[in-house]
């Protein structure tokens, strides 16, 4: 673990804070700097830097620098958010995505109910999308709990739209919910996913696909970027609104 995670900032002097802030903001290049360079960059002195290093538990600057370098190699810095944002290009979507959005927007226009279905991070985007649709006058709600008796809620209704958000397109709990409504005349299923040949995509009437690197933390936790998914949600709702 890096020392940044367990330093008690309340016990640092003003000089120590200058040093700490510089090290924390420049952790990728500090392992290749000399004490004098760190002192100059943090507007302190070499002696102050050395006292700080000993205060946080290292016997020498060499030991501190080696530990910091090892930590950086074990935990590479994630891509900068703005670099990710600038990488949002047409290449991440199929060439006919505009046409797909137009068709789905037309389908939504006459909807009596719109259910946004997703779990985890996708569920949070569902909440956001449902609120935006409700704002422009649609009876929209998010379903993030697969055990909720939604079939009873939508009983004796017509013109229902189910919009599914799933990076993998293979979330078992979501598949079980969709199975309840598949092949029913009063339900149109739309999936926004990074896998256009996934189970959920195959169960859908329309698919809005995108590309994103699949990133997993400890096997079970999905850390894949959903910028593309949010973009499609925004684009779709804007097209619906433009038709009002």
Looking at residue 237, which CATH number applies to its domain?
3.40.50.10490
pLDDT tens string 152-174: 999 899 999 999 999 999 999 99
* Residue 102 and residue 49 share a domain: no
Domain endpoint, select from 74, 92, 119: 74
Inter-residue contact 105 to 244 (CB < 8 Å): no
Q: Are residues 133 and 232 in the same domain?
A: yes
Give all strands (DSSP E) within 8-156, no chain letters.
113-117, 140-143
Residue 58: give the domain boundaries.
Answer: 3-74
pTM, entire model: 0.66
Does residue 132 sit in the same domain as residue 179?
A: yes
Query: Which residue among 38, 58, 74 closes a domain?
Result: 74
* 15-51 residue pLDDT tens: 988 898 888 778 778 888 899 999 999 999 999 999 9
């Amino acid at each position: 673990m890096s020392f940044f995670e367990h330093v008690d900032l309340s016990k640092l002097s003003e000089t120590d804070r200058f040093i700490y802030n510089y090290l924390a903001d420049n952790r990728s290049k500090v392992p290749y700097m000399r004490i004098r360079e760190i002192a100059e960059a943090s507007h302190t002195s070499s002696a102050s830097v050395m006292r700080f290093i000993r205060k946080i538990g290292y016997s020498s600057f060499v030991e501190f620098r080696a530990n910091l370098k090892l930590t950086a190699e074990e935990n590479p810095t994630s891509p900068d958010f703005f670099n990710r944002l600038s990488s949002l290009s047409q290449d991440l979507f199929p060439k006919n995505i505009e046409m797909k959005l137009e068709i789905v927007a037309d389908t939504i226009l006459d909807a009596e109910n719109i259910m946004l279905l997703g779990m985890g991070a996708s569920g949070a985007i569902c909440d956001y999308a449902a609120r935006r649709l409700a704002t422009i006058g649609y009876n929209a709600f998010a379903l993030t709990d697969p055990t909720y008796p939604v079939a009873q809620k939508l009983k004796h209704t017509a013109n229902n739209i189910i919009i599914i958000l799933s990076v993998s397109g293979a979330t078992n709990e979501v598949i079980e919910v969709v199975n309840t409504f598949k092949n029913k005349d009063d339900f149109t299923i739309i999936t926004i996913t990074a896998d256009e040949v996934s189970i959920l995509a195959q169960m859908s009437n329309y698919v809005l696909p995108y590309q994103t690197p699949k990133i997993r933390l400890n096997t079970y936790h999905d850390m894949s970027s959903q910028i593309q998914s949010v973009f499609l949600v925004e684009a779709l709702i804007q097209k619906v609104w433009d038709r009002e």
